Structure 1
């Protein structure tokens, strides 16, 4: 393991522990000597990390420290690039533009060797050829979710039966064959999933959700046994 990668892992370990953790424990998790941990702690402090503690007493990282951009491992950077490429291919148009802008910002701040890795990453995102186009603007749907606003929609189910609904949108699922809006439906007084290509009209309301979106999302995930996709 390079020292840059080891420093990154050390910061991540310190962030994970909310109480002081001994150098011996850190050394065991990193697979290095205790003496190396002492040297790495000193190196991080020189870079501005506020690490409290001392040898024999344990160490704790105070919040707010951001490492300089040297601190992506190769696999972490590949994960970022692949995620952005998938977003560009399978997200809506606005998300695609945002993904391209993120790549440009990454290239502007990364060291030369990591910039080359971004340019030469061999992980590709294939196009979706079977998804039906939507009539609604998914950027507006995403804004509605962020602002926790209700929406009135005109929807047709798989049999073509049309209905008008007032929904509280809480998430969008991006799949190869369809994009799906997850929402609390006032008419059904329950969670429902709506294929975006079957939504004929979307009108964002000025009314806010009756409950926090985070609570609704947690309840829906628990009911569907869906874990958080990026656990901390």
Structure 2
């Protein structure tokens, strides 16, 4: 591996960690000595990368540092292609269009050799079908409500056909093979609940925001469900 590629890999590795990570762990993941790792950190800092920390305390890359998409590797291109094709094939209309547009923007700025990799992708999306959507539910509006951290009034029918009216705090939309699931705090149950989107009969965003930040609530939900937090 060239030193330039190693420096790019180090940037990407730091970007995956939100909290300070030790030099030893970084060196092990890169497959280099701790001395080489320290030299690479100093080199990147000298080139303007906002890396904070020092030996013994760990390192973190401050938010906002950007690398051009021209630096995508072959595996990264394959991963982006596979993910965007899955969304384009199986998500609702606005989200599918967003996936196609995003990939088109990336391809437009790739150098010719990587553009050919896009055309000759070795990962192929298998046959499938669009995920079942809720009858009359505007999924784009649901996503906007999640981003805005707003309460919503919802009419829901469970697996036994029992109907209920609830006020929920929408937190996330989870995608499974054939169904979407809304993760939310339910004021009726005073707990986290999971709602199949295809069983939501009505979804009405409210003006009021919920009282806690979504990130805090998602962390509590992950802890309850035993789901690791993203690095």
Q: Give the TM-score range, shorter chain.
A: 0.7 to 0.9
With over 3 angstroms needed to count, the CA separation of the structure-2 counterparts of 1:89 and 1:127, relative to structure 1, is farther
Deviation at 1:92, TM superposition (A): 2.1
Between the aligned partners of 1:33 and 1:186, the Cα distance in structure 2 is: 51
Between the aligned partners of 2:194 and 2:60, the Cα distance in structure 1 is: 42
Aligned residue in 1 for 2:96? 96
Between the aligned partners of 1:226 and 1:211, the Cα distance in structure 2 is: 20
Between the aligned partners of 1:85 and 1:123, the Cα distance in structure 2 is: 10
Deviation at 1:70, TM superposition (A): 3.4
| 1:128-143 pair list within 5 angstroms | 128-129=128-129, 131-135=131-135, 136-143=137-144
Between the aligned partners of 1:204 and 1:165, the Cα distance in structure 2 is: 12
Worse overlay, 68-77 or 121-130? 121-130
Q: Which has the larger radius of gyration?
A: 1
Aligned residue in 2 for 1:156? 157
Structure 2: 5+ residue runs without aligned partners?
53-58
Aligned residue in 2 for 1:166? 167
Deviation at 1:12, TM superposition (A): 3.5
Q: Deviations over 1:100-121 (max 9, x none)?
A: 0111111111111112212221
Between the aligned partners of 2:37 and 2:167, the Cα distance in structure 1 is: 59
Residue 79 in structure 1 maps to residue 79 in structure 2: yes
Aligned residue in 1 for 2:181? 180
With over 3 angstroms needed to count, the CA separation of the structure-2 counterparts of 1:111 and 1:159, relative to structure 1, is same
Between the aligned partners of 1:151 and 1:85, the Cα distance in structure 2 is: 31
TM-score by length of 2: 0.79
With over 3 angstroms needed to count, the CA separation of the structure-2 counterparts of 1:69 and 1:199, relative to structure 1, is closer
Between the aligned partners of 2:130 and 2:159, the Cα distance in structure 1 is: 17
Deviation at 1:80, TM superposition (A): 1.5
TM-score by length of 1: 0.78
Q: Deviations over 1:170-192 (max 9, x none)?
A: 01111112111111111111111
Aligned residue in 2 for 1:208? 209
Is the 2:27–2:34 contact (alpha carbons within 8 Å) kept by the matching residues of 1? no
Between the aligned partners of 1:115 and 1:208, the Cα distance in structure 2 is: 44
SS at match of 1:139: helix
Structure 1: 5+ residue runs without aligned partners?
53-59
Between the aligned partners of 1:88 and 1:71, the Cα distance in structure 2 is: 24
Count of residues in Structure 1 that have an aligned counterpart in Structure 2: 223
Between the aligned partners of 1:62 and 1:168, the Cα distance in structure 2 is: 32
Between the aligned partners of 2:99 and 2:168, the Cα distance in structure 1 is: 28
